[in-house]
Structure 1
Amino acid sequence: MGGAGGGGDRLRRRVDIVDIASPSTSVEVNLSVVHAMYELQGWADLPDGLLHSIVALLCSFPDLHAFSSTSRSWRAAFSSYPSKQTFSTLFPPLLLQPDIPWCSPCPYPISNSFVPRLCHVTDIMNEDTYCCCQIPLFAQINTPLSPLDEFCFRGSSYGHLILSSKTSCLLVDVFTGVTVSPPQLPVNQATHIYYGALTAPLASPDSHLIVSTDNHNLFWHVGDRSWSGRSLPNGRLTQIVVFEGKVFGMDAERNIFTVHLSPLIHIQEISVSFEERVIRRRLGIAWLVACTDMLLLVGCQGSSYVRTGQTFEAFRLDLSTEPATWVKVDILQNRAIFLGSDERSRPFCCMNPERWGGKSNCLYYYTNNRKNWTAVELGEPLKGHASNTSIFMFTSCFTMLTPMWVVPSKFSS
Structure 2
Amino acid sequence: MSTLQGWPDLPDDLLHSIVPRLGSFLDLLAFAAACSSWRAAFSSYPSKHTLLQMLPPLLLQPDVHECPPRPRPFSNSLVPTHSCHVTDLANQGTYMRCQIPRFSPFGESKSPQSPLDSSYFGGVSYGHLILFNQNQSCLVIDVFTGVSFSTPKLPVDENTFLDHASLTAPLTSPNSYLMVTKGRHYFFWRVGSKSWLRRSLHNGTIEKVMVFKGQIFGMDNDCRLIIMNLVPRIRIQKITVDPGESMHNKWHLPHPWLVACGDMLLLVGCHRSFPSTGDTFEAFRLDLTSEPAKWMKVEKLENWAIFISTDDRSQPLCCMNPERWGGRSNSIYFYFHDSNNWINFELDKPLQGNASTPTIFICRGRASMMQPTWVVPSMFYS
Query: Which interval holds the TM-score relative to the shorter structure?
Result: over 0.9
- The counterpart of 2:17, out of the listed 45, 53, 77, is 53
2:125 matches 1:125:
no
Instruction: Measure how far apart 1:109 and its partner are.
Output: 5.1
| Whole-angstrom CA distance in 2 between matches of 1:279 and 1:285 | 13
- The counterpart of 1:154, out of the listed 118, 122, 127, is 122
Instruction: Measure how far apart 1:317 and its partner are.
Output: 0.3
Partner of 2:366: helix, strand, or coil?
Answer: coil
| Whole-angstrom CA distance in 1 between matches of 2:240 and 2:129 | 32
Aligned equivalent of 1:279:
249
- The counterpart of 1:115, out of the listed 72, 80, 87, is 80
Instruction: Measure how far apart 1:88 and its partner are.
Output: 1.5
Instruction: Measure how far apart 1:214 and its partner are.
Output: 3.0
Partner of 1:74: helix, strand, or coil?
Answer: helix
- The counterpart of 2:338, out of the listed 369, 382, 393, is 369
The 5-angstrom pairing of residues 14-413 of structure 1 reads 42-103=6-67, 104-108=69-73, 110-139=75-104, 140=107, 141-166=109-134, 167-273=136-242, 279-302=249-272, 304-412=273-381
Please say if residues 255 and 269 of structure 1, whose CA atoms lie closer than 8 Å, have aligned partners that are also in contact.
yes
Please say if residues 236 and 251 of structure 1, whose CA atoms lie closer than 8 Å, have aligned partners that are also in contact.
yes
Partner of 2:256: helix, strand, or coil?
Answer: strand
Partner of 1:298: helix, strand, or coil?
Answer: strand
Partner of 1:135: helix, strand, or coil?
Answer: strand
TM-score calculated relative to the size of structure 1: 0.87
Partner of 2:249: helix, strand, or coil?
Answer: helix
Q: Report sequence identity in percent.
A: 53
| Whole-angstrom CA distance in 1 between matches of 2:241 and 2:46 | 38
The one-letter amino acid of 1:149's match is D
Please say if residues 15 and 38 of structure 2, whose CA atoms lie closer than 8 Å, have aligned partners that are also in contact.
yes
Deviations 1:151-196 (CA, angstroms, capped at 9, x unpaired): 1111111001111123121111111122110100000112220111
Aligned equivalent of 1:4:
none
The one-letter amino acid of 1:143's match is S
Deviations 1:126-155 (CA, angstroms, capped at 9, x unpaired): 434221111111222322221111111111
Q: Which runs of 5+ in 1 are unaligned?
A: 1-39
Instruction: Measure how far apart 1:226 and its partner are.
Output: 0.2
Please say if residues 125 and 314 of structure 2, whose CA atoms lie closer than 8 Å, have aligned partners that are also in contact.
yes
Instruction: Measure how far apart 1:284 and its partner are.
Output: 2.1
| Whole-angstrom CA distance in 2 between matches of 1:308 and 1:274 | 27
Instruction: Measure how far apart 1:275 and its partner are.
Output: 5.2
| Whole-angstrom CA distance in 2 between matches of 1:148 and 1:278 | 46
Greater RCO (Cα-Cα under 8 Å, separation 6 or more): 2
| Whole-angstrom CA distance in 2 between matches of 1:46 and 1:144 | 45
Instruction: Measure how far apart 1:41 and its partner are.
Output: 5.6
| Whole-angstrom CA distance in 2 between matches of 1:331 and 1:383 | 19
| Whole-angstrom CA distance in 2 between matches of 1:116 and 1:44 | 32
Please say if residues 19 and 42 of structure 2, whose CA atoms lie closer than 8 Å, have aligned partners that are also in contact.
yes
Please say if residues 119 and 131 of structure 2, whose CA atoms lie closer than 8 Å, have aligned partners that are also in contact.
yes
Distance 1:279 1:367, change over 3 A: farther
Deviations 1:40-92 (CA, angstroms, capped at 9, x unpaired): 86222221111100112111111111111111211111111101122221100
The one-letter amino acid of 1:210's match is M
Q: Which runs of 5+ in 2 are unaligned?
A: none
Going by fraction, where is helix more abundant, 1 or 2?
A: 1
| Whole-angstrom CA distance in 1 between matches of 2:91 and 2:110 | 33
Paired positions, count = 374
Partner of 2:188: helix, strand, or coil?
Answer: strand
Deviations 1:92-116 (CA, angstroms, capped at 9, x unpaired): 0011000001214333352323311
| Whole-angstrom CA distance in 1 between matches of 2:29 and 2:244 | 47
The one-letter amino acid of 2:21's match is L
| Whole-angstrom CA distance in 2 between matches of 1:307 and 1:215 | 31
Distance 1:355 1:63, change over 3 A: same
| Whole-angstrom CA distance in 2 between matches of 1:250 and 1:99 | 29
Partner of 1:380: helix, strand, or coil?
Answer: coil
| Whole-angstrom CA distance in 1 between matches of 2:103 and 2:254 | 29
Please say if residues 217 and 236 of structure 1, whose CA atoms lie closer than 8 Å, have aligned partners that are also in contact.
no
Please say if residues 285 and 305 of structure 1, whose CA atoms lie closer than 8 Å, have aligned partners that are also in contact.
no
Partner of 2:38: helix, strand, or coil?
Answer: helix
Q: CA RMSD in A?
A: 1.8
| Whole-angstrom CA distance in 2 between matches of 1:80 and 1:298 | 35
TM-score calculated relative to the size of structure 2: 0.94
Partner of 1:172: helix, strand, or coil?
Answer: strand
The one-letter amino acid of 1:42's match is G
